[in-house]
Amino acid sequence: MIDLDEFRWNAVITRDSSVAGTFVYGVTSTGVFCRSGCTSRRPLRRNVVFFTTTVEAVEAGFRACRRCRPDELAVHDPAVAAVVELCRRLENPKETINVSAFAADHGYSERHLRRRFSELIGVPIGAFTRIARDEHLRGSLRSRVTVTQAIVDAGYGSSRAFYEHGATRLGMAPRRYRDGGRGERIAFTSLETPIGFVVVAATARGVCAVRIGADELTLIDELRDEFPHATLVRDDDELVDVAGVLAGAVRGEADATRLPIDLEGTAFQMRVWDVLRDVPIGQTFTYAQLAEENGTPRAVRAVASACAANPAALVVPCHRIIRRDGTLGGYRWGLDVKEALLENERATAARVNS
């Protein structure tokens, strides 16, 4: 479950034993797997792989840690046991599960079960189901089955249903994902604004990158690094409307979040970016509020990383996220840029409300 990695890693480094039972982690440098909360030395991130069950860890060649004994771990909290069972069933693309009936069978209200699920797993039930299906689909796409078969196997039923519900979540059409982005035409343009150059790139489906900086050529070079297999074409005419919206967004006047997007990211990142796009002009959220809105209140650090990884400035307005003490926090394109953007947006909001 690659897309839950941020949440799980956060649990490992904070030694959070309350989520023990919902996953285990293997350490490749030692060959040992542990449960969350193990007091052995913290592993390096690059040496850690996550498994949803101990069986998978054993099958992958890891042996159980003698200190935390993940294989003998009895889950005493019946709510945790119910959540773990629900995960197993949601992961199975062939199963359709009624959450309300499942909750009732286990003696919980649906609301309570959903809340416990989000707390323990890191994402809400609906998101987990989609992630599990996406993961299953990506796994199938990497092997040599046809795209159509992979889509059916992932439980989408038909390619039509997948294209309607799944493609935007993967950030690109499935065939393109399998080809590593090769063969894609990406148009770009740039505009000079009071905060520097803004370079925007878009596929036929939507904006795929927005970069801000003092040097136009550097920004364009970075774009080439980001899409090495795509055909990158400067096309000012094609993107004239997009550029107009972005110029307005820099002034704090236009809402760039309504532009269509075609972003690539993990399911977790995509979800955070979606939530970011709902933060209105003139408002700011703290990282904790954003984590709350995302349905993952304990994954503040992972949410902050997703903000930092945002490939499309302005369109995904990560500049509207600030620290709890009111200071700006970080911004990939420069703190002075962030400050200017927020000032312009506040001024607009004040005009609108007066």
Which residues participate in catalysis according to the annotation? 34, 318
* Phi, psi at 17, each rounded to 5°: -80, -10
Q: Shortest gap between Cβ of 50 and Zn ion (angstroms)? A: 14
Report if residue 65 touches Zn ion, rule: CB under 5 A: yes
Chain residues 322-351 in contact with Zn ion, contact rule CB under 5 A: none
Q: Shortest gap between Cβ of 23 and Zn ion (angstroms)? A: 13
Q: Shortest gap between Cβ of 72 and Zn ion (angstroms)? A: 11
In sequence order, what DSSP letters do the residues of 281-348 get, joined into one string? TT--EEHHHHHHHTT-TT-HHHHHHHHHT-SBTTTS-GGGEE-TTS-----TT-HHHHHHHHHHHHHH
Report if residue 67 touches Zn ion, rule: CB under 5 A: yes
The radius of gyration computed from the CA coordinates of the chain, to the nearest angstrom, equals 22
Report if residue 64 touches Zn ion, rule: CB under 5 A: no
* Closest CB to Zn ion among residues 72, 237: 72
- What is each CA distance from 177 to 66, 268, 308, in whole angstroms? 41, 17, 23
Q: Shortest gap between Cβ of 51 and Zn ion (angstroms)? A: 14
Q: Shortest gap between Cβ of 29 and Zn ion (angstroms)? A: 14
Q: What is the DSSP letter of 205?
A: S
Which one of the spans 65-73, 236-244, 270-278, 306-314 is the region binding Zn ion (CB under 5 A)?
A: 65-73
* Closest CB to Zn ion among residues 65, 199: 65
Q: What is the DSSP letter of 72?
A: T
Give the C-alpha separation, 83 to 117, whole Å: 6
Give the C-alpha separation, 24 to 50, whole Å: 6
* Phi, psi at 35, each rounded to 5°: -100, 160
- The only residue of 19, 34, 173, 312 in contact with Zn ion, by rule CB under 5 A: 34
Number of residues that bind Zn ion (CB under 5 A): 6
Report if residue 38 touches Zn ion, rule: CB under 5 A: yes
Which one of the spans 15-23, 40-48, 91-99, 309-317 is the region binding Zn ion (CB under 5 A)?
A: 40-48
Q: For residue 115, count other CB atoms closer than 10 A to its CB.
A: 15
**Site residues (CB under 5 A) for Zn ion?**
34, 38, 40, 65, 67-68
